[in-house]
Amino acid sequence: MFKGFREFIARGNVVDLAVGVIMGAAFGKIVTSLVNDMVMPPIGLALGKVNFTDLYVDLTPGTKATTLSEAKKAGDATINYGAFLNTILEFLIVGFAVFLLVKGVSRFHKAPVKTKECAFCKEAVPVAATRCKFCTSSLEEPAKAGS
């Protein structure tokens, strides 16, 4: 049992996945701080000194809470749409960062060549082809002199 577990953990994919999860969690904290501490305050200031995390709708009838923290202390049912807006913005930033990462990494991976050009008719034919399907000319490389 322990041997099988050790072999499972020793696989490269599991270690790579663990590193990815840890880095993703750390990146998520950075993005949360970026949104809450850097992006949303100027937006709130521009919209009339609004703190997005305090935006909510109180669903409990007859309450006198004026802030989200008061409503939570009173046990009121609330819809916290400000926190939801922050979460959406965090998601968009993370999504854009992942998009840029994938785009950057894919630039370094070249797709395998699947076709070659016929020297006579200039059409694309499969790499493994020995004759062009368009002009039927031979696609074999000529034997080198002295071979």
* Structural domains in the chain plus CATH codes: 2-110 (1.10.1200.120), 112-147 (no CATH)
Q: What is the pLDDT of residues 25-77, one digit of tens each?
A: 998 888 888 888 888 888 888 888 877 888 889 888 888 888 888 888 988 99
Across 90-96, average pLDDT: 87
Confidence of residue 109 (pLDDT cuts 50, 70, 90): confident
136 residue type, one letter:
T
Across 13-20, average pLDDT: 82
- What is the rounded CA–CA span in Å between residue 33 and residue 70? 24
SS3 131: strand
Backbone angles phi, psi at 122, to 5 degrees: 65, 20
- What is the rounded CA–CA span in Å between residue 69 and residue 47? 22
Cβ neighbours of residue 140 closer than 8 Å, sequence gap 6 or more: 130
DSSP string, 86-97: HHHHHHHHHHHH
pTM for the model: 0.57
